[in-house]
Amino acid sequence: MSVISMKQLLEAGVHFGHQTRRWNPKMAEYIYTERNGIYIIDLQKSVVKVEEAYTAIKKVVSEGGTVLFVGTKKQAQDAIKSEAERCGMYYVNERWLGGMLTNFKTIKSRIDRLREIERMSTDGTFDVLPKKEVIKLKKEWEKLEKNLGGIKNMKKLPDIIFVVDPKKERICVQEAHALGIPLIGIADTNCDPEELDYVIPGNDDAIRAVKLIVSKMADAVIEANQGVQLTDTTEEASEADDVEDMEAAEMDDEESKEVNIDDSDLEEAFTE
């Protein structure tokens, strides 16, 4: 049985690329056609690439490895967090701190500090400290949790990394390359696919498209762990997604995409 269907990809808008004036020629092999100044991604190839990425993650996890999910752009933040938590893996969805991988020893010291403050909040330390000191500690805690909360249980470097938009996450990509950590990523038509070990050609700006692909990567982890799912996110409100998609569509012209293209014939075309 296929990991993902053409219909799922089409309905989520995975096929919408960027404006033709904003593209990377290296993505040419993944482009099906152009309509109204927008590149249309070849979903036949996307299906195959999702399968390859799914298999890669499943293999890593089945051998005891870990996955780091990375997506700091607005459209990816919620999906990265919820799906990583659902499958019990690590994530960065707020800000990529330089050295998160290449200077992991220092990052671990900040994680230790986060854990220390968490302990202080539960062991009664806060109760005996001056109010001003507690306020200061809580602010520090909030900042550390925001930036490091998704990796606070990560004891060592991840074995594979999944990124939404390698162009946006270029520092993460550079650090992964330096350390030889394999990369999987959603690559839109303005990205360089050569930066990734496993390319998933697709729309990295639409919330539904991102969520669909991220959820499949989380499913791979769950399957490798024999179906263990830590949180249930299958019934999240679709109305919230609708609102978020509308907000994303209202972003500036450089990041938004025209979605009023008549694509009713694309599913048939992709399967010809």
List Cβ neighbours of 44 (8 Å cut-off, separation of 6 or more): 6, 270, 271
What pLDDT does residue 2 have? 83
**Residue range 238-265, pLDDT digits in tens:** 444 544 444 444 343 444 454 444 555 5
Question: Count of residues for the chain?
Answer: 272
**Cα–Cα–Cα angle for 102, 201, 8, nearest 5°?**
120
Is the pLDDT at 107 greater than 60, yes or no?
A: yes
Superfamily (CATH) of domain 6-98+158-267: Glucose-6-phosphate isomerase like protein; domain 1 (3.40.50.10490)
Nearest 5°: phi and psi at 115? Answer: -65, -35
Q: So where are the chain's domains?
A: 6-98+158-267, 105-150
Nearest 5°: phi and psi at 76? Answer: -105, -20
Superfamily (CATH) of domain 105-150: Helix hairpin bin (1.10.287.610)
| DSSP per position, 154-211 | --S--SEEEEE-TTTTHHHHHHHHHHT--EEEEE-TTS-GGG-SEEEES-SSSHHHHH
Q: Stretch 126-149: mean pLDDT, rounded?
A: 94
Q: Which of 20-29, 155-164, 257-266 has the lowest mean pLDDT?
A: 257-266
What pLDDT does residue 231 have? 61
In angstroms, the CA 95 to CA 161 distance is 16
For the chain, the maximum distance between any two Cα atoms, rounded to a whole number of angstroms, is 71
How far apart, in Å, are the Cα atoms of 1 and each of 7, 255, 257, 267? 14, 35, 32, 19
Backbone Cα Rg of the chain: 20
One fold for both 6-98+158-267 and 105-150? no
The pTM assigned to this predicted structure is 0.85
The pLDDT-based confidence of 78 (bands split at 50, 70, 90) is: very high
The pLDDT-based confidence of 89 (bands split at 50, 70, 90) is: very high
Q: Give yes or no for a contact between 214 and 80, defined as CB atoms under 8 angstroms apart.
A: yes
